[in-house]
Amino acid sequence: MAVTGLVAEARVAAGPHVAVISSGGDRSRLQAKLDEAMRSDVSAIVSFGIAGGLAPGLTAGTPLVARAVVDEDGQYFESDHFWAQSLAKALGGAPIVDIAGVDVAVADPAQKRDLHLATGAVAVDMESHVAARFAAAHNLPFAAFRVVADPAERQLPHAALVGLRDDGSLAIGAVMMSLLREPRQVPHLIRTALDTRAAFASLFRGRKMIASGFGFGDFREPVLDVPCEDVLGSSLPV
């Protein structure tokens, strides 16, 4: 089971033997979908997608594998050691690091710095902590593969934060309204879009490298019948 926040991430994650959940950044929705998914045959859970950088020096497109996920309450959920090692190796030696999980997007560089200092995590997303907690509660192996989208020093503009529908797809109307109210966001939004595009290109490459089973189990089917252009085209979320 691959857990994502965005529809575009889900499209990259999908493949043989992989069911995908897209939460739209909503913790309650993700929890409900995970509960429903347990009615089927789930053997492991992987958190997959883009993330915000917390540690200085991480550029957009940097792939990361979670050693553990730490939430805002300080709870620490370790990844399956052998699975994490397998992922990192398949990704050409991707760093194995701690990742923070939050319920609300961390947009400000000062907030990112504070979260990094408080947790030691080098990146942050809004799904990994929910997925890791769920996996622990059901005694399932857990791993996370995330790619940095917004570096630690980058401020996310308001238009990027409101630009998601409940299903994780792009809410064009909300983005346009935000830009109309605050046109000075435009250069920052363009920079965010370029960073996100670099992150998705790296995510797509990584997905092909880790094969259909996300490095878990002994799967041999071909991976990804979705062309890269379909993922990185006009539907790419900011």
Instruction: Give the C-alpha separation, 78 to 55, whole Å.
Output: 20
Instruction: Give the C-alpha separation, 153 to 108, whole Å.
Output: 8
232: pLDDT strictly greater than 70: no
Instruction: Give the C-alpha separation, 12 to 5, whole Å.
Output: 12
Residues forming beta bridges with residue 164, ordered by sequence position:
170
Closest CA to 162 of 236, 112, 104, 230: 104
* Whole-number pLDDT of residue 164: 65
pLDDT, mean of residues 53-76 = 95
- Give residue 169's pLDDT band: very low, low, confident or very high (50, 70, 90): low
- Give residue 148's pLDDT band: very low, low, confident or very high (50, 70, 90): very high
- Give residue 128's pLDDT band: very low, low, confident or very high (50, 70, 90): very high
The pTM score is: 0.85
pLDDT, mean of residues 145-168 = 80
Whole-number mean pLDDT of the chain? 86
4: pLDDT strictly greater than 70: yes
Q: Name the DSSP letter for residue 24.
A: T
CA dihedral for 87, 90, 96, 102, sign (positive or negative)? negative
160: pLDDT strictly greater than 80: no
CATH topology of domain 2-231: Rossmann fold (3.40.50)
Q: Higher-confidence residue: 219 or 15?
A: 15
* Whole-number pLDDT of residue 171: 65
* Whole-number pLDDT of residue 182: 86
Q: Higher-confidence residue: 205 or 211?
A: 205
